[in-house]
A = this chain, B = another copy of it.
Amino acid sequence: MSDVDAKELDRLLQQAFDTASKLYQERGFQRRVGFGKRPALVSVDLANAWTRPGNPFTCDQEKMDNEIIPGMQKLLKAFRAAGLPVIHVTTAYEITDRNAEFTDMGLWHNKIPVDVVNLKDTNLWAIDSRIAPIEGEYTLLKKRASAFHGTELGGILRAGGVDTILVTGVTACACVRQTVCDGLADGFRPIAVRDCIGDRVPGAVAWNLFDIDAKFGDVHSSDECVAYINGLAKASLAAE
């Protein structure tokens, strides 16, 4: 069994997406939800267990170091300059004994190695220092894939007047996708930031972003998102 040829896979996936897009557009899918008036940045699981080497959760390091982290730095700069809300999401557990009859891992350790992310091992679930939270930014500690379902996120975003979420992080096929889908369900306009979303297996980013864009949120580059944020900031200054 030899590994899949990444370029060949990409080429075939692109063909599949073209075929699907034709059907989707004929039928009225792939509409644009659009950017709203007050966005928040929701950055999912860009903590050391996912961003750094050597952990079962470690993601594709090339995209992480060359695209995701630099893209996030640009986004953070724009959000901070505009005084807009930033939420850093991470995941960790208190009772990580897989033989325990009760644990805050729920059933998830029966599918994936969440038992390695122990709450006491603070370095593991701390947000990567290259994009560390600053005063006034919220760090949400979740137990599930979604940043919305079974968390306080929807309530606090709404209380803060947010109508749009720019979603970044890892992984495309789990926590990012669930957050985008649930964000739309909870009434927010989800924008998936293409170059700031990673995974660890071939094709996962491409396929999941395609599904998201067809049905749950719009996919944009970090540059397009920064331009949007800067535009909001200018409009706000002009109005003062």
Taking a contact as CB atoms closer than 8 A, the residue among B85, B109, B146 that contacts A102 in the complex is B85
The smallest beta-carbon distance between A181 and chain B, in angstroms, is 6
Identical copies in the complex: 4
- Choose the segment among A64-72, A122-130, A196-204, A230-238 that binds chain B (4+ C-beta atoms closer than 8 Å): A196-204
In the bound complex, residues from chain B placing their C-beta under 8 Å from that of A1 are: 18, 22
Q: Are B31 and A186 in contact (CB under 8 A)?
A: no
Q: Are B19 and A15 in contact (CB under 8 A)?
A: no
Q: Are B215 and A112 in contact (CB under 8 A)?
A: yes
In the bound complex, residues from chain B placing their C-beta under 8 Å from that of A110 are: 31-34, 189
In the assembled complex, A16 has its CB within 8 A of some CB on chain B:
yes
In the assembled complex, A131 has its CB within 8 A of some CB on chain B:
no
Within 8 A of B (CB), among A96-131: 97, 100-113, 116
Total number of A residues with any Cβ neighbor in B under 8 Å:
95
Within 8 A of B (CB), among A110-161: 110-113, 116, 136, 138-139, 141-146, 148-152, 154-161
Docked complex Cα distance between A115 and B100 (Å):
36
Q: Are A200 and B23 in contact (CB under 8 A)?
A: yes
Q: Are A185 and B18 in contact (CB under 8 A)?
A: no
Q: Which 10 A/B pairs are nearest by Cβ-Cβ distance?
A: A158-B187, A20-B201, A28-B113, A159-B187, A4-B15, A106-B159, A102-B160, A85-B102, A27-B56, A144-B185
